[in-house]
Chain A
Amino acid sequence: MKRDPIYGMMAEFDSAQALLDAAHKTYQSGYRKIDAYSPFPIEGLADEIGFHHNSVPLVVLIGGIIGGCTGYLMQWWMSAVDYPLNIGGRPTHSWPSFIVITFEMTILFAGLSAVFGMLALNGLPMPYHPVFNVSRFAMASRDRFFLIVFSSDPKYNAPQTRSFLETLQPRSISEVPS
């Protein structure tokens, strides 16, 4: 499949409020494949671009459950099955003393799932991305706010999308080569 030479149309804004309003209007006017970039997290922005399904918590929950089970079963198997030590007739499956390590393993697995799950769902690490082709995009990590309509959007049409973005009164508009 030949790659579309144009990745999308990008508009630059001066403030978080302007980006939030622009994202809202863009979504309202029927564009669905859009994204917004900001130098810090903006409350509600993900909702405005139509991102509602955040599966990080589920990943962390599963990681934690796996960690806890691993921790407990490991101790049970090692202390009660594979290498039982009879010390004065005390029970080999002494669950209260297994709780601490079970807890630590739960936290460890859940924490690692949070980080690696977040990175994986975000598709990171990704050293190359078309948006970096726009030289002004370097400001997205400083004090500028960007909105992009991807060329894969069914409603995307270069001149129309450009004129639509102009109605949002951005600071500048640029076409993003892929």
Chain B
Amino acid sequence: MDETSKVTIDAASAPVIEPGYTFATVTEKISAIVLTRPTSNGWFVGFGIAFLATMMLLYAIGYLFLRGIGIWGVTIPIGWGFAIVNFVWWIGIGHAGTLISAILLLLRQPWRNSINRFAEAMTLFAVACAGLFPLLHVGRPWLAYWLFPYPNTMRVWPQFRSPLMWDVFAVSTYGTISAIFWFIGLIPDLGTLRDRATNRAAAIIYGILSMGWRGSARHWARYETAYLLLAGLATPLVLSVHTVVSFDFAIGIVPGWHTTIFPPYFVAGAIYSGFAMVLMLAIPIRKIYGLEDFITERHLQNSAKVMLATGLIVAYGYGIEAFMGWYSGDRYDAFTVWNRLHGPYAFLYYSLLTCNIFIPQVLWIRKFRTSPVLLFAVSFVILVGMWLERFIIVVVSLHRDFLNSSWGMYYPTRWDFMTFFGTIGMFLMLMFLFLRVLPSISIFEMRTLLPEAEVKE
């Protein structure tokens, strides 16, 4: 690329990293957050609140173990309730992290380099929160290992034709791959922290975690290959995970579930909510830690555009659901649509349309994509909307199916809310710990973005 064309491309959008940085200053700036910057009172307050919420979660789980899932609002016909709503919501949020780290890497989008690390951490913590719910929902969580095929004295094996079994494999693979992808990305930066640490204990701990990384050219060559291959593997994986989650519904014959639009529409919804969470984390982090030079307006704009695009796919999904209710000619499908619009949960359906379709259209306006405060607010609305979407899919479909005699209503109890808000607390607590002990931006990938990293052979 010649110099003039490069300048025009750069001028077309805000930079990925503000000019004036060198290898040394990028390193210092990011590693200082972990190594030298004193832990602020704000961190302790935030961590404290998140910690208390986590304790509330443990209390709710403890009581659940004591009394069983009767303390939740789940009844027949609504056997799935909050647990599955929250499971799908959390696992969807996780998807944006893998999208940013894997798919954008393959698509050669260098702007991802400054947000991939904490987006991957977000994925990991979101999957941890998601994984809790099915385990608690099985009723006897201490027997959850029965889900895995292991030789046992009962001489039975799991039913591999069940989408719930597919889900076990999909989610556990996703959790494992996310964890190793995150860790492999951290290794060179842990080496940097080891070399920069002034505290002996910190140097030893980072030294052990970095595995003796020394940045040899041979190591980098294998490392880059492994990283790229892992990205190539994670890309179909992330698309498969929410597809399999949608099979949990779509394979069933319940009206409102039994539809082929579910896999793509679930994946789009997952990325939609995931980017909303990325922004809700990135906006405060860049402000508090002064990282506006690394997480620039460009990142906010691009994330907003991804939300706008995936939001429109989700809107298309809602449209097709309503259309199929009419076009299929199936009276139960038609009733499901009618019930959403006029049934006892209609208020939630209108809230869903408002949160997920109408309000996010403001992202067409440039100001809403560049203003951190407005974007934060829109992201919050989207996260609420995506939670409502899962509530409508799970609860509103189940509560009135084929026979009027088996209709029912679902009312969540305080234990449902305590468990849900408790997982948000746990998620934030893990995020706070992550920000404090690990580099929240990939240092070595930021170095490669600097002009001085370019070489000619």
A93 to B225, CA, bound (A): 38
* B226 and chain A: residue at smallest CB distance: A118
A75 to B155, CA, bound (A): 15
* A145 and chain B: residue at smallest CB distance: B215
Interface majority SS on B: helix, strand, loop or mixed?
Answer: helix
Q: Which of A24-72 touch B at CB < 8 Å? A: 35-46, 48-49, 51, 54, 56-57, 60, 64
* A139 and chain B: residue at smallest CB distance: B195
In angstroms, how far is the closest chain B Cβ from the Cβ of A56?
Answer: 4
Task: Indicate whether B208 reaches chain A with its CB closer than 8 angstroms.
Answer: yes
A35 to B188, CA, bound (A): 17
Q: Which of B218-232 touch A at CB < 8 Å? A: 218-226, 229-230
Given A39-B447, A54-B222; A100-B177 close (CB under 8 Å): no
> Residue A126 contacts which of B24, B27, B157, B212 (CB distance < 8 angstroms)?
B212
Residues of B within 8 Å of A35, CB to CB, are 216-218
Given A112-B176, A141-B191; A46-B455 close (CB under 8 Å): no
Given A83-B156, A107-B173; A127-B222 close (CB under 8 Å): no
Given A37-B214, A100-B170, A105-B169; A111-B230 close (CB under 8 Å): yes
> Residue B169 contacts which of A43, A78, A104 (CB distance < 8 angstroms)?
A104
In angstroms, how far is the closest chain B Cβ from the Cβ of A142?
Answer: 5
Interface residues on A, range: 35 or more
Determine whether the beta carbon of B184 is less than 8 Å from that of A118.
yes
A173 to B234, CA, bound (A): 43
Residues of A within 8 Å of B149, CB to CB, are 74, 78
Residues of B within 8 Å of A60, CB to CB, are 226, 229, 233
Interface majority SS on A: helix, strand, loop or mixed?
Answer: helix
Task: Indicate whether B192 reaches chain A with its CB closer than 8 angstroms.
Answer: yes
Task: Indicate whether A98 reaches chain B with its CB closer than 8 angstroms.
Answer: yes
Residues of A within 8 Å of B170, CB to CB, are 100, 104
> How would residues 152 to 193 of chain B score, 1 for a CB under 8 Å from any chain A CB and 0 otherwise?
000111111101011001100100110011011000100110
Given A46-B217, A129-B214, A142-B195; A39-B229 close (CB under 8 Å): no
10 CB contacts below 8 A, A to B, read A40-B220, A40-B445, A40-B453, A54-B222, A56-B225, A78-B149, A79-B160, A100-B247, A101-B165, A111-B181
Add 16 more A-B contacts to A16-B453, A85-B159 (CB < 8 A): A38-B215, A39-B215, A42-B220, A48-B217, A54-B225, A56-B226, A57-B225, A57-B229, A60-B233, A104-B170, A110-B233, A111-B237, A114-B229, A138-B196, A141-B192, A142-B192
